[in-house]
Structure formats: structure tokens, C-alpha cells
Amino acid sequence: MNYLEEYKKWCESPDFDDETKKELLAIKNDEKEIEDRFYKELEFGTAGLRGIIGAGTNRMNKYTVGKATQGLANYILEQGTQNKGVAISYDSRKMSKEFSLETALILCANGIKAYLFENLRPVPELSFTVRNLKATAGVMITASHNPPKYNGYKVYWDDGAQIVAPRDQEIIEKVKKVKFNEIKTMSKKEAQEKGLLNFIGPEMDDKYLGVLKSLVLNPEIMKEEGKTLKVVYTPLHGTGNTVAERLLTELGIKNLYVVPEQKDPDGNFPTVDYPNPEDKKAFKLALELAKKVDADVVLATDPDADRLGIYAKDTKTGEYKSYTGNMSALLIAEYRISQMKEKGILPENGIFITTIVSSDLAKAIAKYYNLECIEVLTGFKNIGAVMRKAEEKNDKKYVFGFEESYGCLIGDYARDKDGISAVMALCEAACYYKSKGKTLWDAMQDIYKKYGFYKEAQVSIVREGAEGAKEISQMMEKMRNAEIKEIGKYKVKVFRDIEKDIQKNMETGETTTTGLPKSNVLYYELENNCWCCIRPSGTEPKIKLYMGVKTDTDEKSNKELEDLKQAMLKLVE
């Protein structure tokens, strides 16, 4: 793509409106900015279309959203499933409401029914809704936890999971073929009159929350201990509190404090630099409130409420301790699976799904409870794909799934990570352990004592723009082509290049296949139950490094993890 030619076309073509042209003409003397906006088209990554809001092929705007929607519509029409309709939701980001309506009207203009939430709602509720309505697809307008300048477009298929291969590539091919003057649309009035545009109201909340409440394993304990448990919650200006406060209150949590400054949806995210529960700075106001009310648990969901971050009070020190995504998910897993076993409802053919960059503690828990542990590539859509296969074959029963990036799913009612049900499950676990005289921090330490001190870290190296993308590619190639036999003090036992589908035993030299779909991921299995992994982000201008260790003490794990992290950074940079 010649970015200057494409820029000129957008400035001159009648396909683009005056507002767009005005925005682009304002940057006519800034070639670097022009290049960044036009050097490529936005691509589907691990979470669909995602980019900075603005005019250009490499930006989120009504034209790139329109192109994606027209391509999706063409695909649906080719499949002959247009009568099943498409469910659409959106988060609190700038332009989310406008993009969601634009999406609905383009679908309607193509004769496809659209079911649009009348107000913003979380990702997991959309996933549930696709399944509940038996829709052919779903669209969520969100950039998840990205900074405020971003927005995005996630596509779901009829099982409620994000699209995976080969369907994702088939849809992308349709999108690529769409020209901007081929995007169909119609007025809202006409779409409603023809019965094509339908709005989803609070009745879907009732269904969704009803299913979540049915998954509570100890409702009586939750009601009893919920009288005194103190919970601070923040939706970080996103969708979470459209349903979270109601859910927890109805389940018996009497002392629920929602951070007032962050309670209402706001796409500017005025109180945080980065609305991500992975970022400790996002908890500043929540922790201040927690100390004021002496809370037991502090919870935060990201803007589309599929991720959950937590702090729990350690009553021995009075400190609030932060949990990684691995820790919070595996605390939920251990609680729920142990209780299912105790109640005799843990399926014999149960599966526990994790990702290759998540904690190996998952394997230990699965082994202890005699569950099959299945590893997939990064991205919850890959967990959803395993769930779909198990559902179709009816040979395995989903028990739990998670990824290290602060997301898990406690039941098979949806096919994406669910921060709302995670909030519920952690509050239930807190009530249960409270009834035993323990805190959530005590429970986490018990898990480590039972299985070993598994600790993990993730480091992101940011490289923005066209030059950054090139640099990230070079960093990956440098690692791919290097014969790395040691990382820090650990010998490499097995090296996996998942892009090339090669798995090499570094001790014997034997080479086999990885058994995973091709993806730009390099994985190093190290001695002493340690590991490292490197991959470019599918949604942000980052290269991501992951690492994990296991030792017999907390102190030793923390030290060895830090040493491994520094060794990995030295190798990459």
C-alpha cells in the first residue's frame, strides 16, 4: 500500500465526507503522521479489529467499521444465515455508540436482522446473548483495556465465541474486497419499519444474571457471610456496573462500595491513564476507598468487563495484596473445582483449558482433580474453539478456562472471558473462606503450599508506528534464528517455534511438530519447571515476554522470577 496515494484518495474522493477530509488536510505537512494512518489497513488480531480513532486506513472510523461490517454482511449472506440476525453491543469508549449503530444499519441494509443493545453492556453479556438469541453472529464495539484513543470491533460467531480459523480468514478476505463506495446503509427509521432493527432491553440482563446466579455453589454461605464481607468495586468508567452492583446485591453482599468517581461510563477515562486492571495505578482510588471502609476485597473490571483485577487484604499485615491474572483465576478454579468435587458434581470427563503463556499451576490443579488440561494459543477465542468442539462431540464437559491476561470463564453459558462472573465467583470464594476463618490471601497461600510456589511475570516492550512494527518483526526474527541453549541460569530443554510448527528437543536434537495452529510465538521450556515465551501483541504495538518459575518457597520464587525476567530482556534487546 502506497500511503501517500491512499492519503490523497481519502482527501479527494467523494466516498469520504467533508469532516474526514478536513481532519486529513490538517496533517498534510506531517508525513510521519500520514504514514502511520495509511501504511496499512487495520487487521484482525487475537481480538478482532482494533486501532486509534481517527481518519485513515489504519484507524478506527466509520469507513473502516463500515468496510468490516459490509465484509461480514457479505459473508453471512453467502452462508445463508441472515435470518438468524446479528447481536451488537458496545462499551463506554468514544464513538462506541455511533459505531454500533453504524454496524446495525449496514447489516439491516443488507437484509440482515440486527439486535442492538439499547445501552452499553459488557462483552460476556453479548457472548451470552448471541447464544440466547441463536444469532448467526455478534459484534462488540470495544478496545477492551487499551488507552482512551483506541476503539475496536470484535466479531463473534453463532456459538458466542470470537471467530477463529478458518472463519476469521474467510471474513477478512471478504472485508479486503469491499470498496468504500460499496458499503450499504439505511436510515434508522426505515430499518425499524422493516423490522430489521431490533433493540435489546433489560430483559436480557435478567436472563444473563439468572444464569450466573445459578452457578453459585454455596448460596447460603454467600448470603450469611455477605452480611459482613466488605467489597470495593470499580468498573473503571466502563460497562461493568451496568450489571455487577445488581448481581452482588441480589446475592447478599450487603457492604458493596462502588468507587463513586469511576462508577459512570466515560470514554475519556478521566481518573486513569490506562483503564486496565493489570495496571496497579488503575487501583489508586479503589484502594483509597478500601482503606477508608476497611474492605476485605478490592475488585476492578476493564471497560468491556471481560477482565478482572483484584487486591485482597492480608489481615496479618493489614496490607492489600495484588493478584496477577494467573493468581485470581486459579484461586477461583481451586475454589470452584474443590467445591464441585466435595458436592459430587465434578464431571468425570471434565476439561480445564489454559493457554501456553498462562501459569503451569493450572496443570497441577487439573492433575490433582483428575481433569484433562488442554493448552491453546493466546486469545480466549481459542478456549472458545475447544469448548465448541467439546459441545459438538458431546464427549467432554467444560469445567473452567482462563488466560493469564486477567480473564476466566466459570461456566459454558458464554464463550468469552467474563469479568462479571469472576467478580461474583471471587466474592463467593471470599464468603466461603471467611466462614472458615480465612481471607482470600490466606487461601492463595494455601494453594501455593499445596502445589508449589508457581510465579509468573509478563513484560511488554512498546514500539509504535510503522518503524516500531518493523523493529518488533526484527526482534522476533533475531530470537527465532538464534540457537539459544541457556536463558539465565536455566538450560533450554525444548524450543518451540509455533509459526514454523517446529518443536526441538535441545538435549537430543530431535525435531517434531508443536500440535498447535501456526502463530508468531516462540516458547522455551527450561529445566526445573521454568519457562519463557515471546510473541508480538495482536492488538497493540508491543512485543510481549512471558516467564514462569516454580520453587518451594515464596521468597525463592520471587527472586528466580526476577532473574529470569532480566535474562530474557537482555536476550531480546
Mean pLDDT of successive 10-residue stretches along the chain, which has 573 residues: 91 95 96 94 72 96 95 97 97 98 98 98 98 98 92 96 90 91 97 98 98 98 98 98 98 98 97 94 98 98 98 96 97 98 98 97 98 95 96 96 97 97 98 98 98 96 89 94 94 97 95 94 96 89 95 96 96 87
Residue 534: CB atoms within 10 A of its CB come to 24
Q: What is the pTM of this model?
A: 0.95
Of 154, 182, 162, 161, the closest CA to residue 66 belongs to 182
Write down the pLDDT at residue 110: 98
Write down the pLDDT at residue 489: 94
CA distance 83 to 487: 55
Residue 187: CB atoms within 10 A of its CB come to 12
Ordered DSSP codes for 190-214: HHHHTT-EEEE-THHHHHHHHHHHH
CA distance 511 to 491: 17
Which of the residues 89, 96, 127, 144 is marked catalytic?
144
Write down the pLDDT at residue 49: 86
CA distance 209 to 226: 18
CA distance 520 to 524: 14
Burial of 102 (0-12, 13-18, 19+ CB in 10 A): buried
Terminal-to-terminal C-alpha distance of the chain? 30
Q: Are 65 and 103 in contact (CB under 8 A)?
A: yes
Of 95, 88, 32, the closest CA to residue 64 belongs to 95
Write down the pLDDT at residue 169: 86
Write down the pLDDT at residue 372: 98
Of 426, 17, 4, 408, the closest CA to residue 226 belongs to 426
Q: How far is CA 323 from the centre of its chain?
A: 17
Rg (CA), the chain: 24
Q: How far is CA 540 from the centre of its chain?
A: 13
Kindly list the structural domains of the chain, giving each domain's residue range(s) and its CATH number in brackets, ordered by start: 40-201 (3.40.120.10), 207-451 (3.40.120.10), 453-572 (3.30.310.50)
Spell out a b/e string for 312-341, using b for 16 or more CB atoms within 10 Å of the CB, else e: bbbeeeeebbbbbbbbbbbbbbbbbbbbbe
Active site residue 144: yes
